Structure 1
């Protein structure tokens, strides 16, 4: 018998989709190249995820929120306000939580903790509903869509059928490529270095996006360091890749002094509190999100530049949209892989994501340009935006995930 849904990729998106579909009478399979121990104990990867209020609600419905909090009580840090700076100017565009109806714009949590909680959630679904099978240490090698089902051959040679195949295997999805679906890619020619840092001055739970000359800095406020009690944040430094490599190899004290200097000492002395990691900056948007008995979710559907912190939030939004369509079809005794539910998912997810994807690409291009006229223009734009309360309210609503 074929699976109802086969998901390629057991990262946070794939795991959350499996949990969202579980317990409703569907048979689900997860295919993942990593072995089971790596899924059960994901390693720290430097990435901190800024969750909107809508995403926090999704994690609460899936049971992940309580799992994260139970594992690490200080893991979920409120993100109350956000500010945008340009160059050496002391002026900042401030997006405050007061523009919304909440006491914070969102929440910050480490990516590896989301992955662990999502894996535990799937294990709980397996124990309670017996409707998810995990095929670890394997990957999708060949696809053959047919009228009644998708035929999937794995790298191990195992063959499976599914009414619907879902790609959740990164923005460079091999599964999406195997379906013949191309994507528009924008390589920003830069990489980002990410790590946790402690610092002398408090951050007041305010996120920074600082477009400097020759660099971009982001500060994501975390709860105080449990070992030292010092203020702690996730630092994201974006530079041409050849300038990132030496920073990865620096001794801790030299690296701390370097980051303190790059922040102009605005937070006092800064010291590394974690390992350092680097990732290339590439935005990806597929030409299609669905095909015959096929759909994309997570980064496979939208690979965002991190400047607006919407990548994982869009992933959760897509999971909510796709799972709602599939569960409605199944409840009505219709085929979950039929064109109708998939077309509705694609239309809704494109409308929700494409405008911000394109706007983010333009913002990142403008605010990393080094020509003097553009430096003046972006400073002027920040000041104009600061006086436009409706605009700031709209940005706050977007950061909070309110629609």
Structure 2
């Protein structure tokens, strides 16, 4: 089989890139290990995505936004950061930024579903499912990919969009900075007695981190982060006991909580590829940068990476240039590295500071929040980053 652009990974980044190339003359192919039913009707996975204004605009341009169920789009109006037992909170809201919400919360599986339906009938797209990649060979003019079922595909450009532990990245010989954090994250929809008023909280308590992300009505996405061993005990609780446990851990701030959807647990690891490109190949999404979820920007960076690459590829194709030229791939890598590296480094620093239980670190945490509250320019810059208009 032959195509112009071969995308490995049928997740949000991969499907978004395929859709971004819909108006080009390029033949696009997406290879996904899972069966097609798994991406056509993805199951609920617990993750709620805080979409920036830029990401919302991207999904609208891709024709996916109007496919989302309106009742599952929830406004996030303000974000507050709490530390330990301190009553002080550092707040970020939209005053001075044009009003409206900081971001909109949308379930991850609904975004995946909408993106699948946006590409389902795309004329220049072929979707191959049910087989992964076993080998990759590149030369000056093309790249050849062998699938596990024995099929072979030749392409002008290969794009890896197959998760933060990317098999294609490995086959391309690209190393990555991998940080396995020894912690696990539980995500769980809950109902509660009190109104959240559209406010998200990130509470760095001692030996745990609890985030509450507002959903429509008196519902939230509870995000609990614990050491991996401690999480095993919590994950074994039934729904009634888990509701009580989350109420206790959040100190009843929203009243009594009850589990509203199945909990999901994910081991935490961050990754950053040493390069985002190789001869005739590029990395997007989590294959390029696997963010810690604390800043909720991993998904948004993934959408940004595919948009950057798609723009360069469309420009090259429109002018009859090589869509996988080394100069094009260097421009993509430089652009996305500038967009991602500062945020990745700042996020990892934040996580290290606010999960360090040594006395000096505890004092530094509170001091950092209080200093931040006295720096309005810094707060406005962080708010602008969170919104990304």
- Give secondary structure in 2 for the equivalent of 1:54: helix
The Cα offsets for residues 238-281 of structure 1, whole Å up to 9 and x where unpaired, read as 00111112222212111111100100111110111000101111
Cα deviation for residue 186 of structure 1 reads 1.5
Residues 189, 240 of structure 1: 8 Å contact kept: yes
CA distance in 1, matches of 2:356, 2:111: 34
Q: Aligned ranges for residues 195-210 of structure 1 at < 5 Å?
A: 195-210=188-203
Instruction: Say whether residues 1:86 and 2:79 are aligned partners.
Output: no
Out of 347, 359, 362, the position equivalent to 1:372 is 359
Instruction: Say whether residues 1:288 and 2:275 are aligned partners.
Output: yes
CA distance in 2, matches of 1:97, 1:385: 16
Instruction: Say whether residues 1:14 and 2:14 are aligned partners.
Output: yes
Cα deviation for residue 380 of structure 1 reads 1.1
Aligned to 1:104: 101
CA distance in 2, matches of 1:271, 1:236: 14
Residues 99, 392 of structure 1: 8 Å contact kept: no
Aligned to 1:177: 170
What runs of 5+ residues in structure 2 fail to find an aligned partner? none
CA distance in 2, matches of 1:135, 1:66: 26
CA distance in 1, matches of 2:31, 2:297: 26
Residues 45, 141 of structure 1: CA spacing in aligned structure 2 closer, same or farther, 3 A cutoff? same
Q: Aligned ranges for residues 378-389 of structure 1 at < 5 Å?
A: 378-389=365-376
Residues 99, 396 of structure 1: 8 Å contact kept: no
CA distance in 2, matches of 1:308, 1:39: 26
Out of 248, 255, 267, the position equivalent to 2:242 is 255
Residues 199, 270 of structure 1: 8 Å contact kept: yes
Cα deviation for residue 2 of structure 1 reads 2.7
TM-score by length of 1: 0.95
The Cα offsets for residues 345-368 of structure 1, whole Å up to 9 and x where unpaired, read as 100000010011011001100000
Instruction: Say whether residues 1:63 and 2:63 are aligned partners.
Output: yes
Equivalent pairs counted in the alignment come to 389
Aligned to 2:252: 265
CA distance in 1, matches of 2:340, 2:365: 24
Instruction: Say whether residues 1:48 and 2:48 are aligned partners.
Output: yes
Aligned to 1:73: 70
Instruction: Say whether residues 1:139 and 2:125 are aligned partners.
Output: no
Cα deviation for residue 150 of structure 1 reads 0.1
Runs of 4+ residues deviating >6 angstroms: none
- Give secondary structure in 1 for the equivalent of 2:120: helix
Residues 330, 102 of structure 1: CA spacing in aligned structure 2 closer, same or farther, 3 A cutoff? farther
Out of 221, 230, 236, the position equivalent to 1:234 is 221
What runs of 5+ residues in structure 1 fail to find an aligned partner? 225-230
- Give secondary structure in 2 for the equivalent of 1:381: helix
Cα deviation for residue 99 of structure 1 reads 3.9
Instruction: Say whether residues 1:319 and 2:298 are aligned partners.
Output: no
Instruction: Say whether residues 1:243 and 2:240 are aligned partners.
Output: no
CA RMSD in angstroms comes to 0.9
CA distance in 2, matches of 1:345, 1:102: 33
The Cα offsets for residues 277-310 of structure 1, whole Å up to 9 and x where unpaired, read as 0111111000000010000000001100011111
